[in-house]
Structure 1
Amino acid sequence: MSEELSVRVLGAVTAARGSSPIEAGPPQQQIVLAMLATSATVPVPISRLVAGIWGEAAPRNAEQGVYTYIAGLRRAFEPDRGPRRPSRYLTGSKAGYVLRVEPSHVDVLLFADLVDRSQHDADDQQAARRLDEALALWQGTALSGLSGPFAEAERARLEDLWLAASERRADRLLRLGRHEEVTAELRDLVRRHPLRERIRELLMASLFRSGLRAEALEVYEQCRVLLADELGISPGEGLRRFHEMVLRADAEQAGTSPAAVGPAPVANVPHQLPRPLVEFVGRVQESMRVKERLAPWDDSSPGPLVVVSGPAGVGKSALAAYVAHQARDRFPDGQLYVNCRGATPELSALTSLDVLGRFLRGLGVPPGAVPTDLDEAAAMWRSRLHEGRVLALLDDAADLAQIRPLLSVPLGSALLVTSRESMIWGEDAFEVELRRMSSSEGATMLAKLAGAERVSADADETARLVRLCDGLPLALRIAGARLAARPGWSLSALTTRLSDERRRLHELAAGDLAVHSSLAASHTALERGSRPVDRLAARTLSLLGRLHVPEVTGEATGALLAEPTAKAEAALERLADAHLLERGAPGRYQLHDLVRLFAAELRAEDGREALIRALSYFAASARLASHVSEPHRVQEAAPVDAVPHAVSGREEAIAWLFEEEAVLAAAAVQAMNSPDDAVAELGVNIVFGLHWHNERAHRMVTELELNLQALQASRRLGDEKSILIAHSHIGNIMRLFRRTDEAVEHLRASLEMSERLGDTFGQMRALGNLSSAYNSAERFEEALPWAERQLAFARHADLRVGVRYALMCIGNALLGSGRPGEALGPLHEGLADAHEVGDGGIEGQLQVAIAECHLAEGDHEQALAHLLDANELLTTAGYGIPRLRCLIALSRTFRELGDQDRALHWITVGASVGGFGNARWERRLAEERAAVLEARDRQAVNEVSRYP
């Protein structure tokens, strides 16, 4: 019977009927079992099962595969069941498949139930017993050995639940005075999860209550140093509060009190609001209500959460931008903006962490210092706003859950949110529901677009047109643009054309269909237009729906269309005139979110070929720009048969890469997620074409995300050369993040693959990157043999760029291990070669290393000469961290020469460059600045002491 069936997922996925184990089958069948079991008694649609197994990479026969796994499970559950008898355990319906198993017989559901019940137990002893019972259900890593979207997401979720349950158990035992029982367990949890502050707080409590105050304080200090080095942040409020309590306990014995901690100021003043529409019409009452909440007449604090809600296309974003600009003077500490993409077709909505990350970076937090934990990021967000006045406009929020971590902003700051969903139940929310435009407002908009005389000449037809557009500003803008493009038309000519769509427009009152109808009418008019540019514009829109990038240019659209750039630009302008595209920066165009949805439904005959043409253009352009900007670096992106964007020199190439980086990254992600191998291969190629740009610009988070996806796509494609390159890139990024062990793992994988494939350059590169990984970790003695192997290999293969890099690594390793005199030989040899070939980036880095050798030997004049040359070279090359190293060395040189004013100048320049979120260089920057300030103070004291 169904109640005899049991399933375990807290470990390996297993099943049993009574005491008899059941063979769960292959991994993907185990995923189906796990998805059904964790949703016991609730139907799971086949689409969800497909997504859980394969995600966006689902094969064409994915549903058939699911049917196979369902049949396999049924055979396993009931091997004796006849072919026509329904299954007692696994049934299907239109809603999906249901596994008939008691929730208490599924370990994960029992676990969740026990943990939930423990939260409601007033008796700590009973709660601890329930938590012990829950944690005992775990038999290892959840869904052990399984991969895929569901397995990975569920494993991460369950790991968080396990940690939370372990923390609650420790908390209950501490309340019972059983602190000695949990100390060892908490130490182990801290070791396994060093960045989890709640665990450290509990460990501090257990040590403190055991009389081990010094050890408790050491736990805090270790956490403080780790968070500063890894993330560039301070411990959270809970940990700081307990630390102060322990200090206070010691201070009371010593007759002192702990120091007060001041609030964190807002880091900089961002001005990110999009400009308001020039043709903004009406909405007088709604605008006043929103503005009064953001900028109260009596100068009191603004409402912390102001929401503009309403259906698609009603003008929420336009009103929010308009009012935000009117109120911006009340927020002198900055105005932030993010498109949450809650209803953006074909693009995933931003996560809460994505939104927080963008805002924190906007407030000056270095990218590498933005927390990856949602709670920590939210805490940093509140800290940054403390005692500040910042307005954050969150456009197109999906729902309240998406923005909930950003709520509870300190008084003085405000969130202005637009969404299709009501958020009236949000904490301290003030909501304005934006309805359709009135007849008079719609007529005013049409008059501005199509001409006042023309609209006022036929008031009845104007009112009829507003009704047919259902008062939606987007539909009215499209209608007005069509009229403006056809001055010979009367209003009745357009209303007659729209009349056939009246029913659909009315049905769109609650959603996208009304806007879709307006867009369809406009697209049809272009398709049937008398001018060639109209028909080309219609085709352009249908093909733009295949390309999921933030914006396009005439050149990229020309590749998509297989047409000259001039014709593509004319088509884009035509679409912009029809309000089917939005003009951005000069020569750049963006699809409105609702137009993107419409365009995605248009199926051009050559859609696949057009997408490949556009991606090929992106790949070829990225590769060329990368080569022109870094002529001395090996380009790992393969050549592509396409006409690239032409760049005339290094500066132009770098500027183009900066301008297009978001587009290139989006195109790469779209392509790599495609089941089409030819498309996916182009996505990987674009990622590799962006490598040197991302490294030079220190786009390390982007580089890591892209290369992780490139690794996954290359594995699916069976492309070993691309797998090798992705491993190399990931290893190098891990090196910069100081995740040395992970870096070495990836770099060794690239070395082994290059050896197996006979890839000479790949072997040489892997050896050098391994040396750099150990040098970055300041493990210099381990770095030296790898660099020496690279040097021997590069000399044998006659790879001069490898020889230069190896000599630099050898010099840095010798310098770091206290042998500056030995380091000068290889460094000077590398410098001569770099200067000969004009490799300015490497030349500058070698000059800095040589200068540091001279500093170590007390030769400041030699050091200064090299550093001044290096600064010029590295400024031109655009390498951030090497230049920061140079600036710190310049400051040190002048400091040791006694010229503290010049030392302060150079370290101030270094601070303006920043540490790029790199913990090692952030620390060295701070140390040198402190040394300069101390030397200046000491010098000032000496000056004063000369005069009695």
Structure 2
Amino acid sequence: MVHDLTGRGQDALAVAWSVLRDWLQVDEQGQEVFQLLANEPDRGIRALAARLERTGIPGFTAEVSGGMLGKLVQIASAEAVHVHQDREQPPGSPSRPAELPPDIAAFTGRISELEQLAELVDAAKMKSSTPIIVVDGPPGVGKSALTIHFAHMIAHQYPDGQLYVNLQGATPGLAPLNPIDVLGRFLRALGMDGKEIPVDTGEAATRFRSLASGRTMLIMLDNAASAAQARQLIPAGTGCAVLITSREVLATLDGVAHLHLSVLSAGEAVTLLGKFAGEARVTAEPEATSTLVRQCGLLPLALRIAGARLAARPSWSLQALAGRLLDERARLNELQLGDLAVRASFGISYEALSAVDGPAEAACARTFRLLGLLEAPDVSVDMVAALIGDSHEATDEALERLVDAQLLESPSPGRYQMHDLLRLFAREHAFRDDTQEDRRLALHRTFEFFLARARGASALLQPTDPRRTMQKGEENSWFATRSLALDWLEAERPNIVAAAQQAAAAPHEFGAIATQIADALFWFCHLRAYPRDLEMLGRLALTTAQRLGDREGEGQSLHNLSIANLRLRRFEEAVRHGNRCLELRREIGDHYGEGRTLDALGRIHYMMGRFDDAVEYGEKSLAIARRIQDRYSESAVLCNLVPAYQAMQRYTEAIACGQESLTIRTELGDRYGEGRMRMSLGVAYQASGRLDEAILCFEESLAVFRDIGDRYDEGRSLFQLALAHSLGGRLSKAIEYCERSITVRRETADRYGEGESLHQLGKLLSNIGDEQKARVSLNQALVIFEELGVPNAEEVRTLLATYSSGLDH
């Protein structure tokens, strides 16, 4: 094929790079040069420049090669490094996230924009500042595609990893993500345990900046809704770079460089169309091609759809498709800057999808329409199978056909996403082509899917909790292990929350199921430290239950809200919800619920330092549990009474409660509860001076946690063993356990626990006379405590001050 490389400007450069890339990827000698560029950049650059200078590449002339040599070499070098950038992470090294979505295979052109982005990054580095670049532009213009492609090009410059999040600032039906939720995801990606993540946005942002400090990372914030949303997600150090996409300019962000993205040039649009429809067909019909790209408004999204339609219909000419677009031409010209230009292209694609007379095509079109009803960030095959009421195999086929038609994206195997504008388009057609009853049943099936799965998973998380086990007649055949249940809940949590919100928005149709979904997610959010989700779901369920007159559901929602506020350390609010819940449950004669609420109020008062009240509430709850013969609740209340009695120095009662709770948990087969109870009982023994019994309890708890794979609590058990041996004067044994606890706590990203163990190790080393190592340990603990902003830091400073005054703190 002969390319016209004699033109000037970016069109000619784009075409030249397309030719060069083909040579590098296909030609044997080109592949050798490409390998050199990746593995020995200096030699590769010299080899490629030499080939270009002597026009040793088919399709190039001296004039073209000479005029573009520098830019072509630069682009080729970056592409080679990008393709070969993956490298194995050394064992034991800090968490190195690699969250960038896959690069865009059909990415075309944007040479000038890529150069500008590279220049902006380099300019910021020259000033020793963090490169922060906002790419803005209208919907469908390719902001995300350009930025993801550029991120892959420069990812090798950031060896500590890449973080990525879609902030949902342009997602119909979904609220923009809260910065605290994004910070939680980032902190988990950087290795922090979910239980240690702060619930305050400012504190979480501080922890994120601390973890990012000293690292060389690339962070991409896709689809930001506002400057306020993005501001807390930007690190403070100079080693990172931040790429942001948004429909807004985000002019109020400090230290930001801006790149406004407009439509493709005509040459780039033709190239992009050829990537999908085939270069030969585009070259054979130049006039129809020019007409078609104009009708598509030069928007990448519209061009992708048009190209895919042509690819799926090899007998069609480009003129035939251009003729079909002719009726929409006036509307496209009038709305070139608005969403309707894209919608017109969607209409042509959907018309072709639904016009074919066949069951598979009809099912595919129906799947597309019903997907528009969901307000979920992404979907799985099983979820969509419930939505459309079909088999897994048929659903998978329909989804893959939609991916082929560019009406869906598949970011990973088995997961699918619908573009924001396509979601609105599909919803419009669902309301036009499907009956109200069909739409209602589709949503009901989806909500029931989430409810049944969430209940099944929750039953594995807390199998001894009668309120959240499987409902009568239900079978839990989805999850073979507790670990699989946790993995599913973690992956689907955003979708389950969205389903609960969507169901609650139509209370008379789906209100009851909304409260049930919210309650089914309780244990997961409690265990994995998602208190804000707990609160939001609790408020949603409470409002819905009150609208429906569901007093039992109202009581459960108030109970969940009291626990959520306890986790958020809003104690007065927790007491208020707990008291309302207690009053309501007494009114309706819910004795089980009354007992559980009394127990919750006991825990809240213990956290507030009101130990007498905590014991009073606990003893009342215990009496109810025994009266109604609820062994699980009895065990839970006894467990919660242990620290309350211990705080009042009533050790005999604390130990008796712990022993009785342990007996019940063992009878119930609650291994996790057994491990926690053995550790709690050990602390009570230790506080009362019975060290040998305490050590035995800690060793038994350690064995349980290792058996069930609970690494977080394994670190706690090792630390308790270090304390117990220290109190017994066995310092070498204490140091051994302390060092082992530090290792586990580092591996599980338990920062507070690591500082706690380092602090204890410093004291132990000082006791054996090794002050040099003690100072190292204490200084490491001080750094952690100061980073976390906890009062332990002052104790460490005091201890360090007892050493030589010349210490560098």
Displacement after TM superposition at 1:654 (Å): 2.3
Displacement after TM superposition at 1:815 (Å): 2.7
Q: Is the 8 A contact 1:727 1:746 kept in 2?
A: yes
Task: Decide which moves more: 439-448 or 793-802.
Answer: 439-448
- Residue 583 of structure 2 is matched in structure 1 by 752
CA distance in 1, matches of 2:711, 2:528: 7
Q: Is the 8 A contact 1:620 1:641 kept in 2?
A: no
Task: Decide which moves more: 776-785 or 348-357.
Answer: 348-357
Q: Is the 8 A contact 2:223 2:247 kept in 1?
A: yes
Partner of 1:852: helix, strand, or coil? helix
Kindly tell me: are residues 644 and 938 of structure 1, through their superposed partners in 2, closer, same or farther at Cα, counting changes over 3 Å?
closer
- Residue 401 of structure 2 is matched in structure 1 by 574
Counterpart residue type for residue 538 of structure 2:
N
- Residue 596 of structure 1 is matched in structure 2 by 423
Q: Equivalent residues in 2 for 1:734-883 (5 A)?
A: 734-874=565-705
CA distance in 2, matches of 1:657, 1:614: 16
Task: Decide which moves more: 606-615 or 421-430.
Answer: 421-430
Question: Identical aligned pairs, as a percentage?
Answer: 35
Kindly tell me: are residues 414 and 729 of structure 1, through their superposed partners in 2, closer, same or farther at Cα, counting changes over 3 Å?
same
Q: Is the 8 A contact 1:736 1:776 kept in 2?
A: no
Displacement after TM superposition at 1:358 (Å): 5.7
Counterpart residue type for residue 770 of structure 2:
V
CA distance in 1, matches of 2:338, 2:769: 70
Partner of 2:467: helix, strand, or coil? coil
Partner of 1:295: helix, strand, or coil? helix
1:614 corresponds to which of 446, 453, 468: 446
1:283-319: per-residue Cα shift (whole Å, max 9, x none)?
A: 1111111122113598654674322222211111111
- Residue 623 of structure 1 is matched in structure 2 by 455
Displacement after TM superposition at 1:764 (Å): 1.8
CA distance in 1, matches of 2:213, 2:481: 46
Q: Is the 8 A contact 2:134 2:259 kept in 1?
A: yes
- Residue 32 of structure 2 is matched in structure 1 by none
For structure 2, the 5+ residue unaligned runs are 1-93, 774-809
2:175 corresponds to which of 348, 351, 357: 348
CA distance in 1, matches of 2:550, 2:292: 57
Q: CA RMSD in A?
A: 3.3
- Residue 242 of structure 2 is matched in structure 1 by 415
Task: Decide which moves more: 451-460 or 608-617.
Answer: 451-460
Are positions 1:564 and 2:399 aligned together?
no
CA distance in 1, matches of 2:657, 2:472: 38
2:326 corresponds to which of 482, 488, 499: 499
1:477-515: per-residue Cα shift (whole Å, max 9, x none)?
A: 112222222233332332222222222333332121111
CA distance in 2, matches of 1:864, 1:765: 32
Partner of 1:431: helix, strand, or coil? strand
- Residue 70 of structure 2 is matched in structure 1 by none
CA distance in 2, matches of 1:700, 1:405: 19
- Residue 493 of structure 2 is matched in structure 1 by 661
CA distance in 2, matches of 1:942, 1:301: 39
Counterpart residue type for residue 719 of structure 2:
I
CA distance in 1, matches of 2:116, 2:577: 56
Kindly tell me: are residues 890 and 480 of structure 1, through their superposed partners in 2, closer, same or farther at Cα, counting changes over 3 Å?
farther
CA distance in 1, matches of 2:532, 2:626: 34
Are positions 1:314 and 2:160 aligned together?
no
Displacement after TM superposition at 1:364 (Å): 6.5
Kindly tell me: are residues 625 and 310 of structure 1, through their superposed partners in 2, closer, same or farther at Cα, counting changes over 3 Å?
same
CA distance in 2, matches of 1:349, 1:421: 14
CA distance in 1, matches of 2:307, 2:581: 58
Kindly tell me: are residues 572 and 348 of structure 1, through their superposed partners in 2, closer, same or farther at Cα, counting changes over 3 Å?
same
- Residue 692 of structure 1 is matched in structure 2 by 523
- Residue 457 of structure 1 is matched in structure 2 by 284
Q: Is the 8 A contact 2:458 2:469 kept in 1?
A: no
Q: Is the 8 A contact 1:784 1:809 kept in 2?
A: no
Are positions 1:430 and 2:270 aligned together?
no
Are positions 1:904 and 2:739 aligned together?
yes
Counterpart residue type for residue 287 of structure 2:
D
Q: Is the 8 A contact 1:582 1:591 kept in 2?
A: yes
Displacement after TM superposition at 1:330 (Å): 3.6
CA distance in 2, matches of 1:566, 1:750: 46
CA distance in 1, matches of 2:473, 2:356: 34
Displacement after TM superposition at 1:557 (Å): 1.1
CA distance in 2, matches of 1:385, 1:850: 39
Kindly tell me: are residues 300 and 273 of structure 1, through their superposed partners in 2, closer, same or farther at Cα, counting changes over 3 Å?
farther
Kindly tell me: are residues 480 and 890 of structure 1, through their superposed partners in 2, closer, same or farther at Cα, counting changes over 3 Å?
farther
Counterpart residue type for residue 501 of structure 1:
E
Displacement after TM superposition at 1:823 (Å): 2.5
Counterpart residue type for residue 508 of structure 2:
D
- Residue 762 of structure 2 is matched in structure 1 by 933
- Residue 538 of structure 1 is matched in structure 2 by 365
- Residue 152 of structure 1 is matched in structure 2 by none
Displacement after TM superposition at 1:337 (Å): 2.7
CA distance in 1, matches of 2:742, 2:496: 35
CA distance in 2, matches of 1:461, 1:930: 74
Displacement after TM superposition at 1:761 (Å): 1.3
- Residue 303 of structure 2 is matched in structure 1 by 476
Q: Equivalent residues in 2 for 1:229-244 (5 A)?
A: none
Q: Is the 8 A contact 2:507 2:548 kept in 1?
A: no
CA distance in 2, matches of 1:303, 1:831: 54
Kindly tell me: are residues 713 and 865 of structure 1, through their superposed partners in 2, closer, same or farther at Cα, counting changes over 3 Å?
same
CA distance in 2, matches of 1:787, 1:353: 34
1:744-795: per-residue Cα shift (whole Å, max 9, x none)?
A: 2222222221111111210121122222223344543332222222222111
Partner of 2:606: helix, strand, or coil? helix
CA distance in 2, matches of 1:625, 1:354: 22
- Residue 552 of structure 2 is matched in structure 1 by 721
- Residue 214 of structure 1 is matched in structure 2 by none
Partner of 2:486: helix, strand, or coil? helix
- Residue 646 of structure 1 is matched in structure 2 by 478
Counterpart residue type for residue 678 of structure 2:
Q
CA distance in 2, matches of 1:479, 1:317: 20
Displacement after TM superposition at 1:689 (Å): 0.7
Are positions 1:680 and 2:511 aligned together?
yes
1:592-613: per-residue Cα shift (whole Å, max 9, x none)?
A: 1221222232213222221122
Q: Is the 8 A contact 2:718 2:740 kept in 1?
A: no
Counterpart residue type for residue 386 of structure 2:
A
Q: Equivalent residues in 2 for 1:49-198 (5 A)?
A: none
Counterpart residue type for residue 756 of structure 1:
E
For structure 1, the 5+ residue unaligned runs are 1-266, 917-921
Displacement after TM superposition at 1:397 (Å): 2.7
Kindly tell me: are residues 941 and 306 of structure 1, through their superposed partners in 2, closer, same or farther at Cα, counting changes over 3 Å?
closer
Displacement after TM superposition at 1:721 (Å): 0.9
CA distance in 2, matches of 1:565, 1:435: 41
Q: Is the 8 A contact 1:613 1:642 kept in 2?
A: no
Partner of 1:338: helix, strand, or coil? strand
- Residue 79 of structure 1 is matched in structure 2 by none
CA distance in 2, matches of 1:425, 1:756: 53
Q: Is the 8 A contact 1:536 1:571 kept in 2?
A: yes
Partner of 1:416: helix, strand, or coil? strand
Q: Is the 8 A contact 2:187 2:197 kept in 1?
A: no
Kindly tell me: are residues 431 and 926 of structure 1, through their superposed partners in 2, closer, same or farther at Cα, counting changes over 3 Å?
closer
Counterpart residue type for residue 485 of structure 2:
A
Displacement after TM superposition at 1:360 (Å): 6.3
Are positions 1:705 and 2:536 aligned together?
yes
CA distance in 2, matches of 1:653, 1:698: 16
1:674-698: per-residue Cα shift (whole Å, max 9, x none)?
A: 1442323222211111111112222
Counterpart residue type for residue 745 of structure 2:
G
